[in-house]
Chains A and B, each alone.
Chain A
Amino acid sequence: MMQKLLDLWAAYESTLAFAAVNAFFALSTYAVMATGILSFATVAFAAVGGFLGAQLMGQFGLPLWLVLPASAAGGCVASLVVSFVFLRLESHWLALASLALILITRILVLNAPMLTGGVNGLSVPIEAPLWLLLGLLAVVALAFWRLSVSWYGIAARAVREDPAVAGSLGIAPRRVQRMAFAVSGALGGLGGVLLAMTLQFLSPETYYINISFTMIAAVVLGGSYHWMGAIVGALVFTALPQIMQALVPQVQDLARGVALLLIMILLPRGLVDPRAWRIRRALREARR
């Protein structure tokens, strides 16, 4: 019995690690979506954090407790630079521009072999222990919980619902959105270096369009109206391919797509939906 449990743990330990890393990306995507912006740029910030962290570890041998904040800072700086350009665009155009940013990031990665290893990729010397991933995720989740009940969280909700009304209430929508980009960039950078340490190898394809599409899908699937939705979505989206591989190995991609389609059509507001909670509570109280 004990042996069986250990086998199970061994099989799913890496899934849990990837789920934790993906949760950082999903929270990064959620951070901007919470202010009403659809942006795919998380993956570009992750590339900055990932390659920066990998170089700091590999070339300079910096310890982990310096590398992690440095990567987060790198992603944060990148996101602030990007936000000055992006926030001038209308919503549809911002989404398109962030897609273009990912395409350009890959070209830059390919053409700067000094920094990124180019086509050959880059190996990462240190592996991230699972407790570190989960511990950091817990800290970040705590921060999101505090933020969501702070002035900033309420302002973000107002900006998402209607920027004009928010503006008339004394909230500067641009400033809130820029804050959101900074948070998104820091988390993206952190997620990027953690992904590097989980994979222990980086190639130009590591930070590419697939991650950003799955992350957007994970956030919407989990529920884009609550920070918990991002974590739940990331967990489901990481576990789903594993489950599909165990159940229907030949057509696992097909099954993954069908699952996503069904969830989206049946549960359009996602798995974690604060509005559904409120409605349920109101119904309960009405009955009493």
Chain B
Amino acid sequence: MQLLLEQMVNGCAIGALYGLFAIGFGLVFSTLGILNAAHGCYASFAAIAGYYAATSLRLPFAASLVAGVVTGAALAILVDQIAFQPLRRRGAGMLGALITSIAFWMILDSLAGLATDQQSLSFPAGTFPSAMPMLGTLPLPAMQMIAIGGLIVVTIAIHWLITHSRLGAAMRAVGWNETAAQLGGVNPRLVILATAGLAGATSGLAGVLAGISTNNVSFTLGEGMLLKGFAAVVVGGYEDVRGAAVAGIGLGVAEVLSAQYISTSMRDAITYALLLGFLVLRPRGLFGRASFLRA
């Protein structure tokens, strides 16, 4: 029982990272219609920026976190403007953007490799909170609580933003039809920048937290996040950030429990089986609504 509870907490913490990443990935997919292969690189670069902020600049934990988030957002906006804006003007559709995002994936991966000397760095002890409060006999490591808390706060904030604010309404309008939104008085350029920045920031947060909790700050960090975040978006339904958050947690728990009780080699199998099952049986995901688009 003790072991099961501990593993549940572990699973939720890992899942929170997937969920955070998936929120950004899903936001770009639903609002901008881009399947962004470079999205994982935002997390890698955020983790690298956070690492150097904590080690070279000796900034406190919160400031390193902010450095990572800002890096993620800035990078996302930069990539969007260089790789996607020229295609958008031409109306090249999803395929063109996918290819340019693959190009940026190659570019950013190799830059991240140069930035870390092709090695995997890890945050030195003392640069992040390592307290371990106990709930009865159950240890609750501070970093895991920060990840879970971060996911809850970000999910509520972004969900409120999308459903209750003017910017959110504009984002939904652009996601539905950019031309129609423009006719309705929305400035699509601004909305696109805001969406890209927001998506980059959440992925950046996920990247720094993942870099600390997995002891891996390198370009491989983003790749792992990309695959799991992609699964979470599909399972949760990309139209709703709550779906990505719930699915992220669910995948994390399923992964940890199957590694504990079935076998470690089946860990990823469960994730991807869920992914394919959802795609075939319920493509709109857990929280998605039926769409009225032409098939």
Contact = CB atoms under 8 A, between A and B. Distances in A.
B230 A260 contact: no
A258 B103 contact: yes
B180 interface: no
Contacts of A107: 268-269, 272
Interface string B105-116: 111011101100
B107 A261 contact: yes
Interface string A75-111: 0000000000100111011011101110110010011
B103 A257 contact: yes
Contact of B279 (A96, A110, A260, A265): A96
Contacts of B110: 251, 253-254, 257
A103 B275 contact: yes
Interface in B19-55: 35, 37
B230 A99 contact: yes
Contact of A97 (B87, B92, B95, B280): B280
Interface residues of A, number: 36
B94 A111 contact: no
Interface in B177-222: none
Contacts of B143: none
Contacts of A253: 106-107, 109-110, 113
Contact of A261 (B35, B37, B104, B280): B104
Interface string B79-122: 00011001100101011101110111111011101100000000
Contact of A220 (B99, B104, B283): B99
B276 interface: yes
Contact of A257 (B90, B92, B107): B107
A216 B272 contact: no
Contacts of B167: none
22 contacts: A38-B94, A96-B35, A96-B230, A100-B275, A100-B276, A104-B269, A213-B37, A213-B105, A216-B98, A216-B102, A220-B99, A254-B111, A257-B103, A257-B104, A257-B107, A257-B110, A260-B102, A261-B103, A264-B87, A264-B96, A268-B92, A268-B96
Nearest 6 A/B pairs, CB to CB: A257-B106, A257-B107, A253-B110, A261-B103, A260-B103, A97-B279
Interface of A: 38, 85, 88-90, 92-93, 95-97, 99-101, 103-104, 107, 110-111, 164, 213, 216-217, 220-221, 224, 251, 253-254, 256-258, 260-261, 264-265, 268
